[in-house]
Amino acid sequence: MKNDVVRLGRLSGERSEELMQFLSSMQADRSIAGADILVDIAHVLMLEKQKIIEEAVAKKLIRALLKLHDKGISEEAFDDRFEDVHAGIESLLVASLGPETGGRLHVGRSRNDEVATCIRIRVRDDLIRQMEDILRLRETLLAIAGEHTGTAMPGFTHLQHAQPTTLAHHMLAYEQAFSRDFDRLSEAYARVNLSPLGAAAFASTGYPVNREFTAKLLGFDGVMVNTMDAVATRDFALEVLSGLAIAMTGISRLCEELVLWSSSFVRFVTLDDPFCSTSSIMPQKKNPDTAEIMRAKTGSVAGALAAATLIVKGLPMSYNRDLQDLTPHLLRGIHDAGTSTRLLTGMLASADFNRERMAGEAGKGFSTATDLADSLVRAYAIPFRTAHSIVGRAVQKGSLDVATLDAAAGEVGAGFTLSEKGLTQAQVDKALSVTFSLSLRKSPGGPAPVATKGAVRERKKQLARDRAKTDERAGKHAKAKDRLIADARRLVL
């Protein structure tokens, strides 16, 4: 067992297993260990370039680091005896290269800037993946919308039949919401991808480090300039978590609808068997468990945001160990949101929508009553409120035939009857038809097939633009990483 080189000088005394585990960040550090090797390599290349360490030392360090990069980090580095993976990796290097060489890795930096840099590298990669997942979810919603521009369904307010709409319109609404979630994460990304490295503990360092150089090597878009801010802030984590928590509310609402729509008294959708469970006692049951768990994950992600917010809220400048306890919440939030996004995409793509059931419900509950009121306004130039009162009273009476409408007009004091104005039952029936109602709602953003077809086309163009931007960012990381490793290999040739 290698000793923890960090504790060696200042502290003595044995720590209990429980205390070591309590203080250790090892579990979360597994997620940033790969990034830590990249950070170490960039740091050493910079130290060598700035002549802070000799070339021979840099070569030995780089050789050892490349070995960890190529072959993987040995389990020993993750022992709870080390407070964290940074101490673990440094201890391994000191043990394998000897203190003369291994002991020179950490000059001009601190674990405070190191860990912040590692988390940002990890999170920017996770963000790219999350954005790609949202793009695929949006793509699926647009595919369903494209197939169902003519699929009438009831639209609801207060969960009461309100007005007819189409499945395309419904799916486009979610696509639009997820597109804003994409934008929020995309904006957060710009503030995540900045390098804290070189800030050291918080007060920078007296060595002539080159922060722009390491930032560029690591594919960052810039430097977190103020060194105190660089190590102290986790606002980027709060921003990412809040973006994810907001995205999860959209996911949860869609799941809620899938639960509702798959119930036996609604039957708008049949979810594919793999996404459902059965009962251990009731052999007939098919339960929408995936959608339910996903709905619950919204609480977990919001909880991660709440925990992270409360952890930072009372901290004085600059680094405090409390920050370590934030990282697992960040990683958990990212994990839950990512899994939910991917699984929801699969659940939607394999769902079977019941066109007949939806169309059958679309005209129920007097859902085209607004259209009748509108047609009375158009035909007879009466005020909308008068038409609204007449139709409303006729609904109260239980029928929308001309005789009932006439009686209703009398009861609400309209001062005229509709039959005397020439209203026929054929005109009433036309106004009440679902297809007619939908065809009228053709202004941009509405449910008319002509409008939703146009919307699907437009949204696909936006999707392509968002995808291009994400690919460009992902490509930049990959290139930076390849270049960093190539630079490191060149040094030790």
Cα–Cα distance, 328 to 341 (Å, whole number): 20
User: Does the protein bind ligand ARG through residue 115 (CB under 6 A)?
Assistant: yes
User: Does the protein bind ligand ARG through residue 327 (CB under 6 A)?
Assistant: yes
Site stretch for ligand ARG (CB under 6 A), options 107-115, 159-167, 288-296, 417-425: 107-115
Cα–Cα distance, 271 to 348 (Å, whole number): 8
Q: Which one of 4, 5, 25, 414 is in contact with ligand ARG (CB under 6 A)?
A: 25
* 220 vs 319, beta carbon nearer ligand ARG: 319
Question: CB within 8 A of 443, min separation 6: which ones?
Answer: 451
Q: What DSSP assignment string belongs to 61-122?
A: HHHHHHHHHHH---GGGG-TTSSSHHHHHHHHHHHHH-HHHHTTTTTT--HHHHHHHHHHHH
Q: Which one of 180, 321, 364, 385 is in contact with ligand ARG (CB under 6 A)?
A: 321
The helix/strand/coil state of 154 is strand
How far from 407 is each of 26, 201, 235, 371, 421, CA to CA, in Å?
A: 77, 82, 64, 19, 14
Count of residues interacting with ligand ARG (CB under 6 A): 10
Q: Which one of 101, 112, 163, 227 is in contact with ligand ARG (CB under 6 A)?
A: 112
And the tokens for 122? 């990890």
How far from 489 is each of 37, 93, 172, 290, CA to CA, in Å?
A: 14, 18, 50, 47
Query: What is the 3 state secondary structure string of 208-272?
Result: CCCHHHHHHHCCCCCECCCHHHHHHCCHHHHHHHHHHHHHHHHHHHHHHHHHHHCCCCCCCEECC
Q: Which one of 5, 44, 53, 323 is in contact with ligand ARG (CB under 6 A)?
A: 323
The catalytic residue among 74, 106, 148, 158 is 158
* 224 vs 405, beta carbon nearer ligand ARG: 224
User: Does the protein bind ligand ARG through residue 297 (CB under 6 A)?
Assistant: no
Cα–Cα distance, 417 to 147 (Å, whole number): 44
User: Does the protein bind ligand ARG through residue 117 (CB under 6 A)?
Assistant: no
* 25 vs 367, beta carbon nearer ligand ARG: 25
Cβ burial of 366 (10 Å; 0-12, 13-18, 19+) is middle
User: Does the protein bind ligand ARG through residue 38 (CB under 6 A)?
Assistant: no
Element (H, E) at 356: helix 355-362
Is-catalytic flag, 279?
yes
* 233 vs 368, beta carbon nearer ligand ARG: 233
Minimum Å gap between C-beta 321 and ligand ARG is 5
Cα–Cα distance, 120 to 481 (Å, whole number): 14
User: Does the protein bind ligand ARG through residue 376 (CB under 6 A)?
Assistant: no
Question: CB within 8 A of 117, min separation 6: which ones?
Answer: 35, 39, 195, 196, 197, 218
Question: CB within 8 A of 212, min separation 6: which ones?
Answer: 223
Is-catalytic flag, 158?
yes
Site stretch for ligand ARG (CB under 6 A), options 45-53, 58-66, 309-317, 318-326: 318-326
* 26 vs 127, beta carbon nearer ligand ARG: 26
Q: Which one of 111, 138, 170, 441 is in contact with ligand ARG (CB under 6 A)?
A: 111
The catalytic residue among 74, 263, 279, 399 is 279
Cα–Cα distance, 369 to 384 (Å, whole number): 12
* 84 vs 126, beta carbon nearer ligand ARG: 84
Residues 149 and 218: beta-carbon distance below 8 Å: no
* 199 vs 387, beta carbon nearer ligand ARG: 199
User: Does the protein bind ligand ARG through residue 90 (CB under 6 A)?
Assistant: no
Site stretch for ligand ARG (CB under 6 A), options 171-179, 203-211, 268-276, 316-324: 316-324
Minimum Å gap between C-beta 84 and ligand ARG is 3
Cα–Cα distance, 124 to 116 (Å, whole number): 12
* 115 vs 232, beta carbon nearer ligand ARG: 115
Minimum Å gap between C-beta 469 and ligand ARG is 31
Minimum Å gap between C-beta 95 and ligand ARG is 20
Q: Which one of 84, 336, 374, 406 is in contact with ligand ARG (CB under 6 A)?
A: 84
User: Does the protein bind ligand ARG through residue 120 (CB under 6 A)?
Assistant: no
The helix/strand/coil state of 195 is strand
- Residues forming the site for ligand ARG (CB under 6 A): 25, 84, 111-112, 115, 319, 321, 323-324, 327
The residues annotated as belonging to the active site are 158, 279
